[in-house]
Amino acid sequence: MAEAYDFRNIEPKWRERWEFDATYRARSDGRPKYYVLEMLPYPSGDLHVGHAKNYSFGDAIARMTRMRGYDVLHPMGFDAFGLPAENAAIDRGVDPAAWTVENIANMQRQIRLMGTGYDWSREIATCFPEYYRWNQWLFLRLYERGLAYKREAPVNWCPHDKTVLANEQVIDGRCWRCNHLVERRNLSQWFLKITAYADRLLANLDKLEGWPERTKTMQRNWIGRSEGVRFDFAVDGLDETVPVFTTRIDTAFGATFLAIAPEHPMVARLRSIVPPERFDAVTAFAERVAGKSELERTSLLEKEGVFTGAYAINPLSGARVPIYATNYVLADYGTGAVMGVPAHDQRDAEFARKYELPSVTVVVPVDDDRARIEGAAFVDDGRLTDSGKYDGMTSAQARVAMAADLAQRGLGEVTVTTRIRDWLVSRQRYWGTPIPIVYCDGCGEVPVPDDQLPVLLPPGAPVDGEGSPLARMESFVNTTCPRCGKPARRETDTMDTFFESSWYYLRYLSPHDSVAPWERADANAWMNVDQYIGGAEHTVLHLLYARFFYMFFHDNRWVGGNDEPFERLFHQGMVLKDSEKMSKSRGNVVGVDETAERYGVDAMRLFLLYVTPPEDTAEWTDEGISGRVRFLNRVWRACEPLFGKPYASDGRLPAADEADDRTLLRAVHVAAKSALDETLSRRFHFNATIAKLDELVNALTAAARDRSGSPVTAYAVHALPILIAPFAPHIAEELWERLGHAVSVHLQRFIEPDERALAVAEIELVVQVNGKIRARLAVAPDISAERAYELAQENPAVRAQLESGELRKQIFVPGKLLNLVVS
């Protein structure tokens, strides 16, 4: 009995060889470049088959592209700063650096175990000074241009743990660790001015043709550009105005109150003109609302408010309306104040009903037959009424006219408001990049000079969850002012880890550079990322931040080409087990280690690519992967007869005269064409390609029974390792070697689909009568319409149908079908 396919020996053997031979290193040798990248992973725990799906997919694309003659850059690294390491430190007293290094080692081992073809010579880990010094360098460049700045902002603060919490660490308004109510505190925070790029981030989306439409839509919504009018309400009895923003200025005559955020600066200034008890009530309400986390505050459906005791004058209608402090107006969107129009805004309607404020209809539907829903505001455009000189105008006309009038009176202007806010990048945390700023009593805020970078993250900080560890390290805090040399204090906040991941794709290009984060020449050579792969959960955060950074780099001429980093984007789907997301708490995690040990890596990779199209959610089943193990065994047996016979095929297309040979030859090229088509179309539906490989192996199995010695069989056997190489790299390499080849199968050219091999001698021509199939005729592929019609008439079933009426029309699709229209 011949030797069976033994993945336990074969797979590790080839991984070592590839590593030793640097098989997957990008060469920069003049071939066209291709940069394929999976999103920078966080090195957490063990990999499961969900991760494996992502890596199998990216690796298949990289391998296919390399075999098509491209110089492929496919790097890997680790997003190594962040909370899990710090939490491990807090909970178990371990050193975050040691914990992270250990995790990286394990994850590297597992990624290598998968046989992925990364260029490890370019590996990065963001927690090392060689990387994060460039974070600091980039931060300083942003700072110099006014794009990084510090201001007071409300953050989640746990009074018990004395620390700031991320939004996701606030559960039902309480601290996830100690369960104390979280407060919102105004703290001085660092921001990046992404809003300065809002218009460009939005406009450029139209150019990103290789991005999924839904991702672009989500980014558009996130940026949330609204065109409207900003105009001023005068406060009655006070020489002050409250600006409001609205997209529906046409409803201005329907404003029956003015709603302002409790944090609005006007609240304090009303003290002099309102009764003291009203002022106290407003202050109490503001404190109550402000103490709540944004999460809790916005998830409250009930609208609440307090009358301030003051009134404002509507500049258009002249109406005097009460000013309310409310919980549903956000302080940091628009102007923090809105005109309340119960008749034409659903939120205002709910608020007005609760506080018994009047509703005045000023827009009526143009076609009145639409059924009105009781209690609902009429929010559509219509025709104006009870709006003074604007009566009779359409909403669109009124918007123009009112904006013009306000502008002329100097009381308002057409303006644009965006939903996106500046990016809060400072964290009162330890395990991150120190922000390179020094505070000096004499000089103020002083940036650390480039030649003093990196500001090292000091070891041995008190990481115990009791507030900012760096702030409690005297040795870190105390320094000298870079400007005047006097004693000064360091900034003790660290950066959000999204900072690192906003530019890492450039560091791969010059990974060991010690004079710049990357070389412009390298960026010119490799950017853009041709294919970016990652989960849809990063749609608005990472992908927006990275685009913002890249625009900044482009504006500074640090990169050439266009101002978008990612040419094409692909969101891979998840892998479920028992129809549920894999998680430790559910106990349904299918690990990479166990799966590789049990079934082999190649079978795992094949199954993950085969079970669904890559963008779909897949379901893990043990039966499913068993099918791929069977497939690989069949592949092995098909090739086995030619082991050690290097001259059985020279790889050139053999003549195929017999029908069986032609079928086999065709199966080879159908599979090759599928792989190529899926790659070129960027659908990457390799599940369809692998199905064609199944058919090829079925054909080979049949051939082995009948005529194992034919030149076409030998050709197909030699083609098979090349065809499966992108998907099952280990077995492909082993077979290739056993078939007598010395150079890696992964450095071979992929099989170019050949028209002669794809051609068939005979096709089945479908004959329809009035669209219903009545016959299938075996004919030559190039049969003419006339001849097809003649043959169709000879067919009894067709003839019977034709007799039922008169032939009106013939539709002939060459090589496919003939449709006869009879009536």
Residues between 399 and 418 that touch RNA (CB under 7 A):
417
Amino acid at 571: H
- Chosen residue from 93, 206, 771, 806 binding RNA by CB under 7 A: 771
- Chosen residue from 764, 786, 790, 794 binding RNA by CB under 7 A: 764
- Chosen residue from 485, 776, 790, 804 binding RNA by CB under 7 A: 776
CB closer to RNA out of 214 and 586: 214
Applying the rule CB under 7 A, the residues between 320 and 349 that interact with RNA are 327-330, 333-336, 338-339, 345, 347
* Beta carbons within 8 Å of 565's beta carbon, 6+ residues apart: 505, 527, 528, 529, 546, 547, 550
Find the shortest distance in angstroms from Cβ 622 to RNA.
Answer: 9
Q: How many residues bind to RNA according to rule CB under 7 A?
A: 86
Binding part of the chain for RNA, among 214-222, 422-430, 502-510, 551-559 by CB under 7 A, reads: 214-222
Q: Is 809 in the site for RNA (CB under 7 A)?
A: yes
Applying the rule CB under 7 A, the residues between 231 and 250 that interact with RNA are 245-248
Q: Is 473 in the site for RNA (CB under 7 A)?
A: no
Site string for RNA, 517-556 (x = CB under 7 A): -------------------xx-xx----------------
Applying the rule CB under 7 A, the residues between 94 and 133 that interact with RNA are none
Applying the rule CB under 7 A, the residues between 419 and 458 that interact with RNA are 419
Task: Specify whether the CB–CB gap between 712 and 656 falls below 8 A.
Answer: yes
CB closer to RNA out of 239 and 806: 806
Can you tell me the distance from the alpha carbon of 378 to that of 175, in angstroms, rounded to the nearest whole number?
41
Site string for RNA, 610-639 (x = CB under 7 A): xxxx--xxxx-x-xx-xx--xx-xx--x--
Angle (CA) 561-563-567 rounded to 5° is: 80
Q: Is 261 in the site for RNA (CB under 7 A)?
A: yes
Find the shortest distance in angstroms from Cβ 301 to RNA.
Answer: 6
CB closer to RNA out of 97 and 540: 540
Q: Is 763 in the site for RNA (CB under 7 A)?
A: yes
CB closer to RNA out of 385 and 633: 633
Find the shortest distance in angstroms from Cβ 797 to RNA.
Answer: 5
Query: How far is the CA of 486 from the CAs of 140, 248, 693, in angstroms?
Result: 21, 56, 72
Query: How far is the CA of 710 from the CAs of 654, 693, 741, 746, in angstroms?
Result: 10, 20, 20, 26
CB closer to RNA out of 283 and 819: 819
What the block records as the tokens of 267 is 């609240």
Find the shortest distance in angstroms from Cβ 662 to RNA.
Answer: 16
Task: Specify whether the CB–CB gap between 461 and 151 falls below 8 A.
Answer: no
Applying the rule CB under 7 A, the residues between 666 and 705 that interact with RNA are 681, 683, 685, 687-688, 690-691, 694-695, 698, 701-702, 705
Amino acid at 3: E
- Chosen residue from 772, 782, 803, 806 binding RNA by CB under 7 A: 772
Q: Is 228 in the site for RNA (CB under 7 A)?
A: yes
CB closer to RNA out of 289 and 435: 289
Can you tell me the distance from the alpha carbon of 457 to that of 95, in angstroms, rounded to the nearest whole number?
13
CB closer to RNA out of 702 and 747: 702
Can you tell me the distance from the alpha carbon of 720 to that of 636, in angstroms, rounded to the nearest whole number?
10
Q: Tell me 329's DSSP state.
A: S
CB closer to RNA out of 23 and 326: 326
Provide the strand spans (E) within 517-574.
Answer: 531-533, 569-570
3-class secondary structure, 185:
strand
Q: Is 567 left (phi over 0), alpha (psi -120 to 50) or beta?
A: alpha
Applying the rule CB under 7 A, the residues between 573 and 592 that interact with RNA are none
Binding part of the chain for RNA, among 45-53, 102-110, 514-522, 765-773 by CB under 7 A, reads: 765-773
Q: Is 195 in the site for RNA (CB under 7 A)?
A: no
* Beta carbons within 8 Å of 154's beta carbon, 6+ residues apart: 184, 185, 186, 187, 263, 290, 294
User: What are the backbone angles phi and psi of residue 24, rounded to the nearest 5°?
Assistant: -105, 20
User: What are the backbone angles phi and psi of residue 155, rounded to the nearest 5°?
Assistant: -135, 165
CB closer to RNA out of 414 and 688: 688
CB closer to RNA out of 131 and 328: 328
Q: Is 221 in the site for RNA (CB under 7 A)?
A: yes
- Chosen residue from 15, 303, 429, 542 binding RNA by CB under 7 A: 303
User: What are the backbone angles phi and psi of residue 568, rounded to the nearest 5°?
Assistant: -130, 145
Crossing angle of helices 729-738 and 7-21, rounded to 10°: 90
CB closer to RNA out of 785 and 813: 813
Query: How far is the CA of 627 from the CAs of 622, 640, 729, in angstroms?
Result: 9, 20, 18
- Chosen residue from 40, 547, 768, 792 binding RNA by CB under 7 A: 768
Q: Is 213 in the site for RNA (CB under 7 A)?
A: yes
Can you tell me the distance from the alpha carbon of 105 to that of 111, in angstroms, rounded to the nearest whole number?
10
Nearest to 300, CA basis, from 266, 327, 332: 327
Pairing of strands 487-490, 437-440: antiparallel
Q: Is 797 in the site for RNA (CB under 7 A)?
A: yes
Nearest to 611, CA basis, from 700, 750, 726, 727: 727
CA atoms within 13 A on the CB side of 208: 31
CB closer to RNA out of 248 and 662: 248
Binding part of the chain for RNA, among 121-129, 210-218, 403-411, 736-744 by CB under 7 A, reads: 210-218
Helices (H), 93-212: 96-113, 129-144, 198-203
